[in-house]
Chain A
Amino acid sequence: MSVTASGSVSGSSGPAARHYRRFAGPSTYLFLLPAVALFVVFIAYPIVWVLGESLFSEDRGGANTFVGLDTYLSVLADPVFWIVVRNMTVWALITIPVQMIIGGTVAYFIERHTDAWRGFFRTMFFLPVVTSVSVISLVWVQIYAPYYGIAQEYLGLFGIEMASSPIGDPSTAIYALIIVNIWQWTGFSMLMYVAGIANLPTEVLDAARVDGARGLRLAWSVIVPMLTPVTKSLLMLGIIGTLQTFPIVQLMTGGGPNHASEVFGTYVFRTSFVLGDTGRGATISVIVLLLALVLSIVQIIYLGADLSPSGRKREDA
């Protein structure tokens, strides 16, 4: 019955593929239609729209005039834009490795050294990820608050004096927000590494152990390299996540004080919806888009395309 298909693994070529095509007919294209329709209306069209809109400027009368790349030049000349670029760079450079290291270490000890408590630890460290970010932001404002927040109280016990709220000080605001991001998302890195570690082939680990690799040496020279696909996924998701950053900043500092913690999200939001400058908002949107595109291409070239949650290799992507 299944003779023809049983030998074929790929399904995209060979006799098997021909057989599945027998399902085909005009109606089978309806399988693709809903997803494609959503993509066209809510992703592709908006992108085309911002591309066009970024080349126009609306005057007070509401008439659009073609201004070419003028808006781009004006955005690039805006000092706030460069604060945003600096903040996003700092954000990615700190959050991604720190979340990986803490999450990976916790995952390693949970998976390799616990049994009865494994499920408990996995769940608890992940809870910040499922706690509403708008709630988290307000809780951290309270933690950081001068006089009645617990941060100044407990850090004082270690000799660290906090005269004011770190989110109110331009030199520390972005770092205070980064700590919140790390707190929220480390559990995500942890769970990804948990999946990676749980699926490591036992034979390889046993072989390494026979060769004398134990404890931390086993972890560093065998397990870490074998988790590279997960690490690559986390890097990719971390960069996209950085460009997505919005609620924590919007709710805790609004991008302030004096733009010190401005990120792309708050910059787009302020320009488009607070100041109502559509042309400029569209231009910033396009710049973010291009940045995401370039970073993705660079990663795909250097690291290969790993987009799955578990870091699985996809040859066909």
Chain B
Amino acid sequence: MRRRPAVSRIVIHAALFLLLAIWMIPEVYMLSIGLRTPAQAFDATLFVWPLTFDNFVTVIRDNPLTSFFLNSLIVTLSTVALVVAFSSLFAFACAVLNLRGSLTLYATLLTTLMVPLASLVLPLAILLKTFGWVNTYAGLIFPYAALGVPFAVVVLKAFMEDSPKELFEAARVDGCNAWQTYWHVALPLVRPALVFVGIWQFITTWNEFFLALIILTRDEVKTLTIVPMQYSGLYMANPGALFAVLTLIALPLILLYVVVQRAFVRGLLAGAVKG
């Protein structure tokens, strides 16, 4: 009887590792093709030997990948900053200040969560053209922020409502005005939620494809997410180079997630505490 739990633990771990191994096949396959010599590039196997880094050296030398990376970084960081700032201000007004009309505005804002981007791309494209924002960072940053704010508001508002009201009250009694209370009390209190919201916004913005495809046509402003398709044409006969590029495009966000996943999951878990 005592040994059974140990055996079942081993079986469950083995099953999870097996499923994970299957689940990782596409990721491993991507890396594996990127590390192949031209002679083996078309082999229908997951693993080959020997491996080479030549493809990576070639594609880094021949392509402006750093520039695409910086474009992605500028667009993503700006969007995250706007979303975190605007949504925390809004959530504070709803949860702490209880401004008249704020709950109606909150409900209105929430309808955005149900709007599919597919139905907005056409009007956004025309609007951004009117603004002269085609092929600019702003043309992505502001629509992304508008689409990201509602979800962030839901999370942050819930966190602020769960914070002890006494702290806000104490701040007021101590002579803080609304802005000081927001900055010195509310923001530090909901830090895990801000981190969670920021990371999720980073992931979705970094990988957004539809609007980027429509708004960015010039190489100088293109983000990483829309360049893979042009490389699939360029390197059609050279899968090794193509998959080296794909690996380099996917890698930054994967590495970032591995680094921040602890904080991300902590925020997610904290949000569910009072289920």
**Are A311's CB and B29's CB within 8 A?**
no
Q: CB within 8 Å of A: which of B150-165?
A: 150-151, 153-155, 158, 161, 165
Chain B residues within 8 Å of A4, by CB: 169
Expressed in whole angstroms, the Cα–Cα distance for A152 and B178 within the complex equals 63
B234 at the binding interface (Cβ < 8 Å)? no
Chain B residues in 8 Å Cβ range of A195: 265, 268-269, 271-272
CB proximity of A49 to chain B, nearest CB, Å: 4
B39 at the interface (CB under 8 A from A): no
Taking residues whose C-beta sits less than 8 angstroms from the other chain, chain A's interface range is 35 or more
Measured between alpha carbons, how far is A131 from B224 in the docked complex, in Å?
12
Q: Which of A32, A273, A307 has the most CB of B within 10 A?
A: A32
A78 and B214 alpha carbons, distance in the complex (Å): 25
Please determine whether A134 and B209 come into contact, CB atoms closer than 8 angstroms.
Answer: yes
Q: Please state if B44 and A149 are interface contacts (CB–CB under 8 Å).
A: yes
Evaluate contact between A32 and B155: CB separation under 8 angstroms: no
Is B90 an interface residue when CB atoms closer than 8 A count as contact? Answer: yes
Contact flag A292-B115 (CB < 8 Å), given A132-B253, A133-B209, A308-B155:
yes
- Whether the Cβ atoms of A264 and B116 lie closer than 8 Å is yes
B35 to chain A: which residues have CB within 8 Å? Answer: none
Main secondary structure of the interface of B (DSSP, over half): helix
- In the complex, the answer to whether B105 meets A36 with C-beta atoms within 8 Å is yes
List residues 119-141 of chain A with CB under 8 A from any CB of chain B. 119, 121-141
Q: B119 is contacted by which of A17, A19, A285 (Cβ under 8 Å)?
A: A285
When the two chains form the complex, which single residue of B86, B214, B272 contacts A199, counting CB atoms closer than 8 Å?
Answer: B272
Which chain B residues numbered 31 to 87 have a C-beta less than 8 Å away from chain A?
Answer: 33, 42-46, 82, 85-87
User: Is residue A109 within 8 Å, beta carbon to beta carbon, of the partner chain?
Assistant: yes
Q: How many A-B residue pairs have CB under 8 A?
A: 352
Answer whether residue B237 sits at the interface, using C-beta atoms and an 8 A cutoff.
no
With both beta carbons as reference points, the residue of chain B lying nearest to A32 in the complex is identified as: B93
A31 and B118 contact, Cβ closer than 8 Å, known pairs A138-B242, A147-B44, A247-B210:
no
A-B contact pairs, 16 of them (CB 8 A): A23-B172, A31-B97, A43-B112, A45-B127, A109-B12, A109-B15, A114-B16, A131-B253, A136-B26, A142-B243, A147-B44, A196-B272, A196-B275, A278-B126, A309-B271, A310-B271
**6 extra A-B contacts, CB within 8 A, seeds A46-B127, A312-B158:** A50-B122, A128-B23, A141-B232, A191-B268, A243-B118, A285-B123
Chain B residues in the interface with A (C-beta under 8 A) = 8-9, 12-13, 15-16, 19-20, 23-27, 29-30, 33, 42-46, 82, 85-87, 89-90, 92-93, 95-100, 102-103, 105, 107-110, 112-127, 142-143, 145-147, 149-151, 153-155, 158, 161, 165-166, 168-170, 172-173, 177-178, 181-182, 200, 203, 206-207, 209-210, 213-214, 224-226, 228-229, 232, 239, 242-243, 246, 249-250, 253-254, 256-258, 261-262, 265, 268-269, 271-275
A-to-B contact residues, CB < 8 Å: 1-2, 4-6, 8-9, 11-12, 16-17, 19-25, 27-32, 34-36, 38-39, 41-43, 45-47, 49-50, 53, 106, 109-110, 113-114, 117, 119, 121-143, 147-150, 152-154, 183, 186, 191-192, 194-196, 198-199, 229, 240, 243-244, 246-247, 250-251, 264-265, 268-269, 272-273, 278, 281-282, 285-286, 288-289, 292-293, 296, 307-314, 316-317
